Amino acid sequence: MAINEAITQMMKKDSSVFVLGQGVKSPWYVGNTCKDLIKKFGEKRVIDTPISENAITGVGVGAAICGARPIVIHPRMDFMLYAADPIINQAANWSYMFGGKSSCPVVIWGIINRGAEQGAQHSQALHGLFSHIPGLKVVMPSTPYDAKGLMISAIKDNNPVIFIDDRWLYNDKEIVPKEIYSLPIGKGIVRKEGKDMTVVAISYLVKEALIAISDLEKRNIFPEVIDLRTAKPLDKEIIIESVKKTGRLVICDVGWKTGGLSAEISRIIVENIPGFLKSPVKTVALADIPAPTSPTLEKSYYPAKSAIVDKVMEALK
């Protein structure tokens, strides 16, 4: 409910904030994250739309250009690809094309639906694709506290922000502060200090990394865990400083390995501090195949704590 609280508080504070997307009336369609919003603010500010991702997003981008602060919801991130034109060709380029004199403060909120037999067309984490585009910011919280703070920052931001949520994090019952607060976009956080290894993770793999660290500490191995919070802009400094200290790096990405976040982080290290590495960079990421539907195959496809432990041990060797 942290995101619901963030949106509620910002809609009360700023009349230009409104929500539109598929299923905002439904208590389950977007994981209860929009529960009761339509009761609080009415159908003019919480708009349950037809199924037309391109049109919905185009409306949001147009409204943002005209001075509103829309939040466009895509309950399955996969279908944001239908909205590639308004996101990539319009929103991302708008401020640049007008020399910064016009802005497009739209939040495009995509939800990843991995697992639960969703299959190849309903399970994709597309942050790598959107991080490639100049003009877009890409946010991926791993805790309710961060989700609220980063959503508020995204709504306030004058640039288009892709806010990526993961249903696998919806069971986290952390209580967040009632007051309005924001977290800086582009700043990571050290979740666990350590000395033997840097583990950089994002989204649900942050939690898996912390579980893996508990196992590793029993073997007298003490990795440092960094939660990126944001895929773009990346917090280069926090990664570089940690690798300088530990000399080893394991990257945990919820997307595919080829051309993804792990490749970008590896580039940052190789370009800036290659001499500090005591062993090759290791990566935990999805195999370069579409998501399976079979529950048995899903268990092998999606990385978890065991994969992180294995990569840490490989790097130490």
pLDDT tens for each residue of 121-149: 999 999 999 999 999 999 999 999 999 99
Long-range Cβ contact pairs of 213-220 (< 8 A, separation 24 or more): 215/305, 215/309, 216/309, 216/312
For the chain, what is the total number of helices (H) and then of strands (E)? 12, 12
The half-sphere exposure of 123 on its side-chain side, counting CA atoms within 13 A, is 20
pTM of the model: 0.95
Structure tokens at 175: 């209580």
| Side chain identity at residue 1, one-letter code | M
Domains in the chain (CATH in brackets) are 2-169 (3.40.50.970), 189-316 (3.40.50.920)
Dihedral-angle region of residue 305 (phi above 0 means left; psi in -120 to 50 means alpha; beta otherwise): alpha
pLDDT in tens, 268-306: 999 999 999 999 999 999 999 999 999 999 999 999 999
Distance set, CA 65 to CA 58, 159, 179 (Å): 11, 10, 29
Q: What are the catalytic residues?
A: 122
